[in-house]
Structure 1
Amino acid sequence: MAACTSGSPGAQVKPGGRSFTVAAAGDVLIHPELVEQAAKDAEKTGEGQAGLDFGPLMAGVKPVISKADLAICHMETPVGTPKGPFEGYPEFLVPPQILTTLKDVGYDTCSTASNHTYDHGLKAVKRTLDAMDKVGLGHTGSARTPQEAEQINIRDVNGVKVAHLSFSWESFLNPTPEKERWAFNRMSTDEIKKAEARARKKGAEVVILSVHWGLEHYNEPSLPQLELAERLTKETGIDLVIGHHSHVVQPIQKLNGKWVAYSLGNQVARHSSPTGLTEEGAIGWFEFRETADGWDVDARYRTTLVDIPPEVEAGDKAPEGAVEEHRVVDVQQVLDSPGDLSDDRLARYRLADDRTRGFLHNRGAPRGDGLEQLSLGK
């Protein structure tokens, strides 16, 4: 079934029709500072594995993520073994303990195709997917064998068969050898069409596509992004496109009757040179309702922010009221219940809220298409 334009003529919800919600967030990128935070938190909580607990870092988004019928993350990097060694940019190898936390906060499945998928070769690809299987996280975009590369991730969501696909451009730093080109899905309109056809043949009623594309640190989609989005929404039956890679928020737009989230920013990251924008992200929230002709989809969002403690010289104290730990924050929840937070902290959350709204709306989504902030009370 193809997506039906929300609010379009004839787009009437089917009596007794099925419905489900999808939450999708930005890149999960575990930099070394976040590993250090997980070690500090494990000392306090006594939980986690092998001295690392990512639970406190991610707890702020659990009320949103766990509320969705289907929650999709983007696991950008391969994982190592629980005790390390770990590596940051440019060839990531991160603790597998983050996968346990992603599952605990409510994620059901993750896209794994990115320019970092092959940072440590096929062995790390296999280790990552094995670890995801172990904790019960679905995955799509990379594969351990040529046979697995042909499989489609289809999940039953409230009685609806939903397929999740994942494609990416390839890293120029670590290109996959020709004999292992099946190890992850490279960006190609033709290959995406073939994957959608396989999904439909296997009974998928809704197809969601995650794409790793665009330019880093640009809040506007690039021309190739716009051109590919046009082709995908016009030439395929894909129902929803979720973008990653820029590490900053880009617009959510309805194009040819289908929602495209060009980039949801970072769900969690700690770049070596934080820009302010790289800490801001969005959880996209999409409500699918069955109609006589397909699916009517409404889009909402929830702003997130990664709190980063200020850097201070040894022996010095951070300013009173400053951030003390790395934490992923649900911005609206904090603004609704600020408690005794300092004026400076609240100003930072308001900036994130205002700026994210502006970037998300920058290609006209509010004008008749209904993109709004998600209220957890609804």
Structure 2
Amino acid sequence: MTFRKSLRIGRSLTVLVALGGLIAACTSGSPGAQVKPGGRSFTLAAAGDVLIHPELVEQAAKDAEKTGEGQAGLDFGPLMAGVKPVISKADLAICHMETPVGTPKGPFEGYPEFLVPPQILTTLKDVGYDTCSTASNHTYDHGLKAVKRTLDAMDKVGLGHTGSARTPQEAEQINIRDVNGVKVAHLSFSWESFLNPTPEKERWAFNRMSTDEIKKAEARARKKGAEVVILSVHWGLEHYNEPSLPQLELAERITKETGIDLVIGHHSHVVQPIQKLNGKWVAYSLGNQVARHSSPTGLTEEGAIGWFEFRETADGWDVDARYRTTLVDIPPEVEAGDKAPEGAVEEHRVVDVQQVLDSPGDLSEDRLARYRLAADRTRGFLHNRGAPRGDGLEQLSLGT
């Protein structure tokens, strides 16, 4: 696969607006929005693709040997531990489970037809995720049997799910959760896989991208009492840090023609902008939450956790957007018998970049330079459609 050369993104300027304590108490981050006295609120965290490549399965096996934990010789806990302080802090945390799962002992497969260990689902739940989108171009990699196995496994560990279904009846259901007294619906849609298209008789097995179908799903959610509707979409072009024209057009239609309150995008495997469009936040792509592509580009290791605070107003919901940069540490490849450079990454780990930069310990300058690059580059990509110029997109501080 040919990758586009990454653009050099300059540092974005952040304008800080100082508000008095009395004003801050009665207004939210959006200009003119008045928070409803005694109104409800909740926080939502969402992250990019969960894509378990073979190298990550190998890492989980090594970690299980050290920890003595996990199941069937695999422990994904150490791999994902770095994001737990952020994900577990949210009132509602949403992941994107891109692939079907196999049985605990395998066999497992990587690209192009993924079949990954179900043990990752236990770890996602332990990290703090509540529910996941499951509609993607890999949903049907191993047919309906694997779709059923995946949703059964998610049910077993207590993870909610939306976007794929075991029966036509389940396909009509809506994932609604009570979050701080607010009924929040989560929808998930994707484009069809060209490699493994779903048979016509099973086209209900996952939700295909369609503005009309999204409208129908939102209508069902509202009819069932949903007060907030979140939409996860698997769209765009892989490895491009700018949204494609079809993405932009669909985002315009969704934010203008529906009542969807927030759009969360996946599939590109790299970070794309977060933009406020027609008064609604659109995260075009949050990159990868965890992945280890066979040819890492540097950009595929970088991701963002989107953090959204919903506040009830007299006219609906006001939403503030923040983010937290993540990076998947990848050990260098060395020839048999050789040693990795001193201070190099030793294990695959998902890292909270700001946490490391705040407390670097004895990390080498080369390692710190890599984390700074991820922070600067991610900020540039996220801001690249104007979010800093008045919409308030800022980095999340764990102290707030």
The answer to whether the superposition gives a TM-score over 0.5 is yes
CA deviation profile, 1:95-145 (whole Å, cap 9, x unmatched): 000000000000000000000000000000000000000000000000000
Distance 2:294 2:173 in 1: 37
Q: CA deviation at 1:7?
A: 5.2
Q: Secondary structure at the match of 1:3?
A: helix
Distance 1:105 1:5 in 2: 32
CA deviation profile, 1:285-321 (whole Å, cap 9, x unmatched): 0000000000000000000000000000000000000
Distance 1:169 1:5 in 2: 39
Distance 1:235 1:5 in 2: 27
- 2:250 maps to 1:228: yes
Q: CA deviation at 1:8?
A: 5.3
CA deviation profile, 1:325-353 (whole Å, cap 9, x unmatched): 00000000000000000000000000000
Distance 1:368 1:97 in 2: 42
Distance 1:234 1:3 in 2: 30
Q: How does 1:1-378 map to 2 (within 5 A)?
A: 10-378=32-400
Q: CA deviation at 1:3?
A: 20
Would the alpha carbon gap of residues 213 and 239 (structure 1) be closer, same or farther in structure 2, given more than 3 Å must change? same
Q: Secondary structure at the match of 1:2?
A: helix
TM-score scaled by length of structure 1: 0.98
Supply the RMSD in Å over aligned alpha carbons.
2.3
Would the alpha carbon gap of residues 6 and 260 (structure 1) be closer, same or farther in structure 2, given more than 3 Å must change? farther
Quick check: 1:169–1:187 contact (8 Å CA) kept in 2? Answer: yes
Runs of 5+ consecutive residues of structure 1 not aligned to the other structure: none
Q: CA deviation at 1:197?
A: 0.1
Q: CA deviation at 1:78?
A: 0.1
Q: CA deviation at 1:9?
A: 5.9
Quick check: 1:26–1:281 contact (8 Å CA) kept in 2? Answer: yes
Quick check: 1:2–1:237 contact (8 Å CA) kept in 2? Answer: no
Quick check: 2:53–2:110 contact (8 Å CA) kept in 1? Answer: yes
Runs of 5+ consecutive residues of structure 2 not aligned to the other structure: 1-22
State the identity %. Answer: 98
Quick check: 1:2–1:238 contact (8 Å CA) kept in 2? Answer: no
Q: CA deviation at 1:373?
A: 0.1
Q: Which of structure 1's runs of 4+ aligned residues deviate more than 2 A? A: 1-10
Q: CA deviation at 1:11?
A: 1.5
Would the alpha carbon gap of residues 4 and 246 (structure 1) be closer, same or farther in structure 2, given more than 3 Å must change? farther
Distance 1:346 1:2 in 2: 36
Which range is displaced more, 144-153 or 3-12? 3-12
Distance 2:295 2:24 in 1: 42
Distance 2:264 2:313 in 1: 22
Distance 2:30 2:59 in 1: 48
Distance 1:298 1:320 in 2: 42
Quick check: 1:56–1:327 contact (8 Å CA) kept in 2? Answer: yes
